[in-house]
Structure 1
Amino acid sequence: MGPAQTLYEFLSEASELTIVCHNNPDPDCLASALALGRIAAAAGIDARQVLYSGDISHQQNRAFVNLLDIDLEPFDPAAVQNRDEGSLLAFVDHAVPGANNRVPEGTPVDIVIDHHPGEDIDAQFVDHREAVGATATILTEYVRELAIDLDTTLATALLFAIRRETLGFLRGATRAEYDAAGYLHDHADRDLLRQLSSPSVSGATVDAIATAIQNRTVRGSVLITHVGRTNERDALLQAADYLATLEGVDTAIVFGMLAEAIQISARSTDARVHIGDALHEAFADVGSAGGHREMAGGEVPLGIFADYTSDDTQLLAIVDQVITARLVAGLNLTDEPDDQSS
């Protein structure tokens, strides 16, 4: 029995399903949650909810939720801790309680479907495939094998998620992504796909990207920069995507201060570098970081700098120095930048 049928039979014995998205969910997570909800409905589960924490701040993610009318609810600890018998808890696009989610560590999880690198995954049903390019690819396989009704909304969501997660099939895409896209293609709304691909950008995001461009330094083929303090978390991702296309740059790392934490986003096309491992080694002792060979991120609490200063300008200077030094050491870079524009 394959994983799709195993999952379906597991769901058919339950009465309720709570799907938890990771913090600040992206299209891959959201589309996967939507698909799992549809499979649960087909298996006879009427009581279903999708929870998220953090923000849906990236304009593309907001457009995804709004245009596809995806029903989401803010994370509620009681929904995952006070469950009745027959109530299942599922993770999609993440795997471990307390890691990139607000679920308390040690909480029993029933279903995990994910493609990110990870260890210590514990659930009654686990489909963890690091080799594929998107979690939505796995869910598309389930929808296809189980003959779940593939309406325009579901097909568009899954196809866009696969395209976005693989940067248009240029990052981490496998034959499975192409097979999934071929299946979804005729059912998707192409006008809606175009709308999702080109959402409007806020002025604050443009300002943050401009700051990242101004502050960039380059050592060999590695670009390191920061956006200062910002409320636009996803501006870091967009800045990293954009700066990774700069001529001569194989790896781009962008960080910034958001609320009470330092957020880090990285992109790499250098075959010699596993950027997820590099970030993990650089920041695991002071925060959390990791990801794929080509795409990674991290978070470091600002509290570790609390004894230095309460002045934001001075704090930024210290953060810049410390974070950059850790990146330079972790990537074995030269001390002095080859180019500095600020």
Structure 2
Amino acid sequence: MTPDVRDGARGRPSRGAPARALDGTAERPGDQAVGETAWTRVLSLVRQADEVALACHVSPDGDALGSMLAVGLVLRSMGKRVVASFGDRTFSVPRLLRFLPGQDLLVPPADYPAEPALMITFDSSTLDRLGLLAVNAGKAREVVVMDHHPSNTGFGTIGIIDPGAAATAVLAEQLIYRLGGGLDRDVATCLYAGLVTDTGSFRHTSTTASAHEMAARLVATGLRTDEIARELWDRSPFGYLKVLGAALERVVLEDGLIWTYVTRLDRAAYGLPYAEVEAIIDVVRRTDEAEVAVVLKEDDLGAWQVSTRSKGAVDMAAICAALGGGGHRSAAGFTSHESVEATMDNIRALLPRKA
């Protein structure tokens, strides 16, 4: 499949008053990188479809699952048959995201259409990130890729890809408005979860004026931002503290790099699912003496899922892309099937040398 050629034209404004940049000019989601040719094709396909199959990346975060469910809810309200999934072998919504509305749209990969007429993917930069559903995407008639990762490989037949967007949720909101849909509290809750997840609660450099303006539109629906924040960041089982302690016991600081790892056995001792250790990187990366933070997490199949963070001086997206992954400059990752030592050696070899 080849990606759609983007004409670079500016996107249409969302329904209602358009967002405004600080200089007073229109600043709309999806404007920067997605041309009208791509948007027109997507809208035509969705309107003609009886069923739309939605998918997001494996081990979904708030942006992936939230964007997918928001669009799914709107499509269902338009009378479309909607099926949504993600391609994990163990199909389970991460505990932190179980508050999101619309989860009755979800089906396990085994029940997903084998050859979808129209498939829309969310927050997946590569075909491999779809996991088990990569096979379904390969057999789909049309695959719309909605993503904001600079490392996106351009898979699919139509690309709605904007590396300048703060989150895939920004593009999901644009799709909803272009389809003539609106925001209710359930849809806004899903989109808000995506926006705050990928902006780090509006702390990351991806936080723009338009990101705050989008947040204002979502909050205006009546959603409870305090409850969403508590679900996403202020809850964890007791076992997480024990596993975090084990990871911090192993932490190593070396020449601007801090790293540690979490094994399957660490988690098994407390019955802790893999998804529960995602936040360890956010503890480790705070270290003043380190520019780069790395956490290796052994998944249930024995592979190492590697999370990396940078404070801005090092492009972790480029490094992770060289190792088969991708992401953003300051937050990226990849999968390693080598040992912890070999994986770290591979990362060190790609880090810039200090003068």
Say whether residues 1:41 and 2:76 are aligned partners. yes
AA aligned opposite 1:20: A
Aligned to 2:306: 264
Aligned to 1:62: 95
Give the count of matched residue pairs: 305
CA gap of 1:64–1:237, structure 2 versus 1, over 3 A, is closer
Q: How does 1:319-338 map to 2 (within 5 A)?
A: 319-332=339-352
Aligned to 2:139: 107
Larger mean Cα displacement after TM superposition, 120-129 or 214-223 = 120-129
User: Secondary structure in 1 aligned to 2:84?
Assistant: strand
Partners of 2:286 and 2:102 in 1: CA distance: 33
Does the 8 Å CA contact 1:252/1:268 hold for their aligned counterparts? yes
Partners of 1:75 and 1:236 in 2: CA distance: 24
Q: 1:24 aligns with which of 55, 59, 77?
A: 59
Aligned to 2:120: 90
User: Secondary structure in 1 aligned to 2:298?
Assistant: strand
Structure 2: give runs of 5+ residues left out of the alignment: 1-11, 13-35, 268-272
Q: How does 1:71-82 map to 2 (within 5 A)?
A: 71=104, 72-76=106-110, 79-82=112-115
Partners of 1:53 and 1:106 in 2: CA distance: 13
1:72-131 Cα distance to aligned partner (Å, 9 max, x none): 21112x734344xxx311111115433342222743442111111335424343201111
CA gap of 1:205–1:57, structure 2 versus 1, over 3 A, is farther
Which structure dedicates a bigger proportion of its chain to strand?
A: 1
Partners of 1:141 and 1:270 in 2: CA distance: 28
Partners of 1:207 and 1:199 in 2: CA distance: 16
Partners of 1:197 and 1:111 in 2: CA distance: 28
Partners of 2:251 and 2:352 in 1: CA distance: 18
Partners of 1:167 and 1:257 in 2: CA distance: 24
Structure 1: give runs of 5+ residues left out of the alignment: 305-318, 335-342
Report how far residue 4 of structure 1 moved: 5.4
Report how far residue 152 of structure 1 moved: 0.9
Partners of 1:106 and 1:194 in 2: CA distance: 37
CA RMSD of aligned residues (A): 2.7
CA gap of 1:124–1:333, structure 2 versus 1, over 3 A, is closer
Aligned to 2:45: 10
Structure of higher RCO (CA pairs closer than 8 Å, 6+ residues apart): 2
Identity %: 21
Report how far residue 207 of structure 1 moved: 2.2
CA gap of 1:215–1:244, structure 2 versus 1, over 3 A, is same
AA aligned opposite 1:267: R
Does the 8 Å CA contact 2:305/2:334 hold for their aligned counterparts? yes
Partners of 1:292 and 1:274 in 2: CA distance: 8
Aligned to 2:4: none
Report how far residue 206 of structure 1 moved: 1.9
Partners of 1:198 and 1:217 in 2: CA distance: 25
Does the 8 Å CA contact 1:21/1:30 hold for their aligned counterparts? yes
Report how far residue 23 of structure 1 moved: 0.5
Please report the TM-score for the alignment, with normalisation by the length of structure 1. Answer: 0.79
Aligned to 1:340: none
AA aligned opposite 2:290: V
CA gap of 1:299–1:100, structure 2 versus 1, over 3 A, is farther
Partners of 2:329 and 2:120 in 1: CA distance: 26
